[in-house]
Structures are given as C-alpha cells and as structure tokens.
Amino acid sequence: MKKSLVLFTVLLLCASLITGCSSLSANTAPTWKSQKTQNPLGDVWGTSSSDVFAVGAAGTILHYNGKSWTKMNSGTNNDLIGLWGSSSSDVFAAGKQGTILHYDGKLWNTMSIGTTTGIGRIWGDSSSDVFALGVQGVILHYDGNSLSNLTGNTTNTLESIWGTSAADIFAVGDQGTIMHYDGNTWNSMDSGVSGPLFGVWGSSATNVFAVGLYGTLLHFDGNAWRSITDVINSNIILSDVWGTSSSDVFVVGSSGTILHQNGMVWSTMPIGTTNNIFYAVWGDSPSDVFAVDTSGNILHYSK
C-alpha cells in the first residue's frame, strides 16, 4: 500500500539502488537539518512543534519533544506506515498484518480489527470518526468504540486519505484512483491519470492536491482534477503532500525532492543531497516542517 505497502516497498528498493535513481541538483545551501535514526520511516504527524510522532519499519515509533527524538514501545515488530491523531493522547498508527495501534498519552495498545489485511494511511475528522485504508480498496471506519468495514466501491489499493470534514473526504490510490466520500457513499472521480497516486492533501474542498508516480502532481478546484506540468521530472516518485494553506504547500519524493508552492509558483527546495527518498511530510507551521525518509532520516525545516 502508501503509502502503504506498495510505495513503502518501492521506495525501500529505490533506496538500495540509490545510484540508479534520478537526481536533482541543489544550487544553494540547504535549509533543512537532518537527524539519522535507525529504521526506515513511513509517516510523521504531531500536535505541535514539541509533540511530534514518527513511525516506520519493525514497529518503530519515535517522539519529538521539541529538542530530541526518543523511541517509544510500540509492542509490535510489524512495519508501521500510517499515523494520525486528534490530540497528544489520542493517536493512531497503522501498518502491515492488519496492525492498528492507539496511543492514550501513556501507552500504545493494539486494536483488534479481525483481519491481517495490510493497513496504510489513516486520517480522521475527530476521535470518533477515523478512517484507515487497506489493500484492494479496504476502508475501515472507527466510531470511537469499534472498527467496521465501509464499502469503498473500488478494488484498487488506496494509498492516502484526507478531508475537510466527515462528509468531504478524498482517498487516492493505484491506477489513478481517486474516491470522494460525501458522508454516505464513496464515489469515483476522474483523475485523468493511470499511474498510482500516493498522497493527497488540501487547504479546502476547492483546493486539493494529489501526487504520485512519474512526477504526477494533480490539483482539484472543486469541479475537476487537472495535471500540473513542468514542475518536476517524470522519473521522480512524488510520495506525499502537506501544507498550512493554499499559499504554503510542500511535496516530497525520491531523489531528495522537496517542492514548495507559495500560491503562485512551485520551486525546488535544496537540501544538499539527492540521496533521500522521502516518504511523508507534516508540519506545525510554514517554518516548522518535518520530512521522513526510507533511510531513517528526519529532516526538520526552520526558516
């Protein structure tokens, strides 16, 4: 999945063959600071600049207190790929073998979902309205008490999910799949592309971005999806997208790619290397952003 099992595997393979992956040259000094951790990382999320979580391979969960990263006891050795929470005492992590964990502010506990289906990205509108994506179109919903299966109207693996509310949710995945949820039904949208999509985020219902293979960058204006061209090489894998507003959007991917949009133009942010294969991005503000990669690096951006 994407962000799940498919992309996690693809990017790990690319990391092992880094000299064969495409590269971008950096012309100025990097503005990102890097810290190395032990295992490949799959997602990052937090409540503030001093309360950030990261998850990854072999059950890795890390926590940042604003000064340093420390390892947390996840209770699992399964790869963790998705991460989301409503507060510092209500955090969910998801991954392979049907793993979903919940953090109550003290301990991580395993949630029973009754399947070993791989789970990838996770997102919620509140602590009692949480969605998790699985292989072959599986969509799980948590109502605060129990998990249930939703009919997603697709058999394609869904890789990423984001929404403005419980009645306005976008999910993207394999074969250019984009699904929209109106609170009752998941309906297919025309993406205009056939390659897999790995990330989705927006600042509103009429300003949504999706990214994927072949340097795919899409934008939804409330009416239709269109491709944004001439931003990045087609041999770059774009893995994730996140922002604070319509004029502050970050996209990360392979070959050390970090893109930024200021509301008018896209630009490449130099980090001083093309070796990083980024998997996820999240931030607390325009000047406090974290990106994680498949080599266990955590990059922190500060203006």
Query: Radius of gyration over alpha carbons of the chain, in Å?
Result: 17
- Give me 5's structure tokens: 């099992």
Predicted local confidence at residue 16, as pLDDT: 44
Q: Give the pLDDT score at 181.
A: 97
| Alpha-carbon separation of residue 73 from 49, 63, 107, 187, 235 (angstroms) | 21, 11, 8, 39, 37
| Per-residue pLDDT tens digits for 185-237 | 999 999 999 999 999 999 999 999 999 999 999 999 999 999 999 899 999 99
Give the model confidence (pLDDT) of 43-101 as tens digits: 999 999 999 999 999 999 999 999 999 999 999 999 999 999 999 999 999 999 999 99
130: closest CA among 157, 93, 178? 93
The predicted model scores a pTM of 0.90
CA–CA gap between residue 11 and residue 275 (Å, rounded): 12
Distance between CA 273 and CA 213 in Å, rounded? 21
Yes or no: say if 150 and 134 are a contact pair by the CB < 8 Å rule.
no
Token pair of 137, please? 């179109």
Higher pLDDT, 40 or 15: 40
Which tens digits make up the pLDDT trace of 96-116? Answer: 999 999 999 999 999 988 888
Is 240:279 a contact under the CB 8 Å cutoff? yes
Query: CATH assignment of 5-301, given 3.40.50.2300, 2.130.10.10, 2.40.50.1020, 3.30.1330.10?
Result: 2.130.10.10
